[in-house]
Amino acid sequence: MWLCKNTRLLNVSVKNFQSEIESVYLTYFLIVHFISFIHLSTIGVTMKDGVFYGKGVNKIKNEYPEIYEAIVKLDEAVFTGRALDYRTQKLVALGITAARADESATKRQMMSGMNEFNITKDEIVDVLRVVLLTAGMPAFNKGMRILDEIEKQ
């Protein structure tokens, strides 16, 4: 009898614990993807010298200043240059946006990297090779097409 009751209690405790973990994971997942959506899709390119590049940032800044401040703080916390310099972080950001096949963000990352850091076509192609391996041919092809369009400008 005692074993049976304790086993039921243990099962309830384990189920509650699993439920708590799933809830925490879901919350974390939603926060990360919400921030990723705002930061990479709306803004597109990270802040450099106090300036965000992208069309949606002024609307956020004017209508939702608390969200804008959170984005600025997130940007400052992420782009510290502690282990990776800002140029390398820019290449990582380019790889992420290209892997997501986000055309406008990929183009902005490429252009700002080329303008701010003299990132070369060969460096971008190296990043896109990693995208090919990790995200597949469609994302790779889109990135190569965007690079080709930028070169023709």
Query: pLDDT grade, residue 143 (50/70/90)?
Result: very high
Considering the domain architecture, whether residues 74 and 93 belong to the same structural domain is answered as no
Q: Which CATH number belongs to the domain containing residue 112 in this structure?
A: 1.20.1290.10
Band (122; pLDDT cuts 50, 70, 90): very high
* Radius of gyration of the chain measured on its C-alpha atoms: 21
From 78, 47, 79, select the one nearest 60 (Cα to Cα). Answer: 47
What CA–CA distances, in Å, run from 91 to 54, 97, 102?
18, 10, 15
Domain end point (choices 51, 79, 107): 79
First CA to last CA distance, the chain:
79
Total domain count for the chain?
A: 2
Nearest Cα residue to 125 out of 147, 109, 106, 142 = 147
* E strand or H helix at 120: none
* Domain housing 30: 1-79
pLDDT tens profile 8-47: 555 555 556 556 666 555 554 445 444 444 444 444 444 5
- pLDDT for 87: 93
Regarding whether 113 and 75 lie in a shared domain, the answer is no
CA separation for the pair 66, 69 (Å, rounded): 5
CB 42 within 8 A of CB 102: no
pLDDT, residue 99, reads: 97
Q: Give yes or no: residues 46 and 109 share one domain.
A: no
pTM check: above 0.85:
no
Residue 126 has what pLDDT? 98
47 phi/psi in degrees, rounded to 5: -75, 140
- Per-residue pLDDT for 7 more than 70? no
pLDDT tens profile 39-86: 444 444 445 555 665 668 888 889 999 998 998 888 888 888 889 998
Q: How far is CA 60 from the centre of its chain?
A: 18
**132: DSSP letter:** H
Helices 103-117 and 86-99 cross at an angle (nearest 10°) of 160
At residue 147, the pLDDT reads 98
